[in-house]
Structure 1
Amino acid sequence: MNNDINKALEVLKSGGVILYPTDTIWGIGCDATNADAVKRVYEIKQREDCKAMLVLMENPNRLNSYVDEVPEIAWDLIEANDKPMTLIYPGAKNLAPNLINSDGTIGIRISNEEFTQNLIQRFKKPIVSTSANISGDPSPANFSEINEELKGLVDYVVEYKQDDFEKASASSIIKIGVGGEIQILRK
């Protein structure tokens, strides 16, 4: 795993794009603060840049660096949650402008997966995470279901967990309003 992390770090630091395992499904990722890298992810996915992508962090303590004000309910949800959950926060900041939704929100998930946590911790910045598929195609449940063409479009394909055939599923998605109101978008 360390060799994979070192190679992925090198690619992320140079503005490249990786294909990597997350705490849910395999993802396409890049430096979430690099607008050119984010643009390339949209191009690889053949996705309109107005369609949201989320970012992964390894620690909720970093949220204040990327969100103006973390609503109190967010801390309660993070603490109580026992499965992957993406929270959509108002007031995104310090991220690539083409990653922030037109309403100023950003989806953030705190990853509990060992590889991703170590990668983000060493990178010291959040990374983009979007399903490893061409926009409109089904999301792959494991590495073996990822389109071969897509694998050739990224700069590095992580080897860790390629032989894991367990079917993964996407995270729940909850949108949090400025006043702490919540809206469940996906269970």
Structure 2
Amino acid sequence: MSIVSDAVQVLRRDGLIVYPTETVYGLGADALSEYAVHRVYEIKNRPMGKPISVAVSDEDMMAAIADVSDEAWEFIRTFLPGPVTVVLPVKSCLPSVLSGGTGKIGIRMPNNTVTREIIDELDAPITATSANLSGTPAPVTKEQVNVPYDLFIEGGELSGTPSTVVDFESRQILRPGDDIERIAAFFRTLE
């Protein structure tokens, strides 16, 4: 068995994995399972109503869960995979708790091959929230993960800079991270 197969087995049983991204370690659950998503909120002690982003493996999966305009595709193809979370109108296939009643979902496509292989083999998005209790620092090593999980996927020490969160419709940077200047320049080309 490979780590990818092991992770997919855990996720299919509504289990939780800790996985590497190019920023911090994420806490992954099958984003199509309402039970698994509720476990993530409970384990992180995260307030219900506070949205949780999801990670996808490719553009097809993104199109299945969100409404993506032509301009948004141009943005996605410029910045993903990479340390950017793009917020888009959500489709009804995801548990509504993930969008926190906003009608939007944050979507990551991590620049980590193993993580994308796991999502691809699961054939479903996974939660993309840091593997920590709400309000504590996001983990960059296994030792810093302070929530329970079923499987840890080693990725070494990570950068620690959180992903830049961008609401594409309002063209606002909701949380600064890497690439802010390039993102701002991209939005100026749309004006």
TM-score (norm 1): 0.86
Aligned pair 1:156/2:155, yes or no? no
**C-alpha offsets along residues 121-154 of structure 1, whole Å, 9 cap, x if unaligned?**
111110111111100111123323223xx2xx22
In structure 2, list runs of 5 or more residues that go unmatched: 177-191
Query: Which aligned pairs between 1:159-178 and structure 2 lie closer than 5 A?
Result: 160-161=154-155, 164-177=156-169
CA distance in 2, matches of 1:166, 1:116: 14
Kept in 1: contact 2:86–2:167 (CA 8 A):
yes
Amino acid at match of 2:151: Y
DSSP-derived class of the 1:95 partner = coil
Change (3 A) 1:101 1:72: farther
TM-superposition CA deviations, 1:26-85 (whole Å, max 9, x none): 011100000000000001101112111110011112222111x21222111112227411
Supply the AA of the counterpart residue of 1:35: E
Contact 2:44 2:133 in 1 (8 A): yes
Percent pairwise identity:
33
Residue 167 of structure 1 deviates from its aligned partner by 2.9
Contact 1:53 1:129 in 2 (8 A): yes
Question: Deviation digits for residues 158-187 of structure 1, max 9, x if unmatched?
Answer: 2x32xx22433211110022xxx4111122
List alignment gaps of at least 5 residues for structure 1. Answer: none
Aligned partners of 1:129, 1:103: CA distance in 2, in Å?
17
Aligned to 1:52: 51
Query: 1:87 is matched with which residue?
Result: 86
| 1:1-187 → structure 2 map (5 Å cutoff) | 3-67=2-66, 69-81=67-79, 83-147=82-146, 150=147, 153-158=148-153, 160-161=154-155, 164-177=156-169, 181-187=170-176
> In structure 2, the residue corresponding to 1:165 is in which secondary structure?
coil
> Quick one: distance in 2 between partners of 1:74 and 1:84?
16
Code of the aligned partner of 2:70 = E
- Residues in 2 aligned to 1:91 and 1:146: alpha-carbon distance in whole angstroms: 29
- 2: CA distance, partners of 1:91 / 1:47: 21
Q: Give the Å deviation of 1:92.
A: 3.0
Which amino acid letter does the alignment assign opposite residue 171 of structure 1? S
RMSD over aligned CA atoms reads 1.6
Partners of 2:79 and 2:10 lie apart in 1 by 32
SS of the residue 2:128 aligns to = strand
In the superposition, the TM-score normalised over structure 2's length comes to 0.85
Q: Mean Cα displacement is larger for which, 75-84 or 20-29?
A: 75-84
Q: Write the distance in 2 (CA, Å) between the matches of 1:39 and 1:27.
A: 16
Q: What is the rounded CA distance, in whole Å, between the counterparts of 2:175 and 2:55 in structure 1?
A: 17
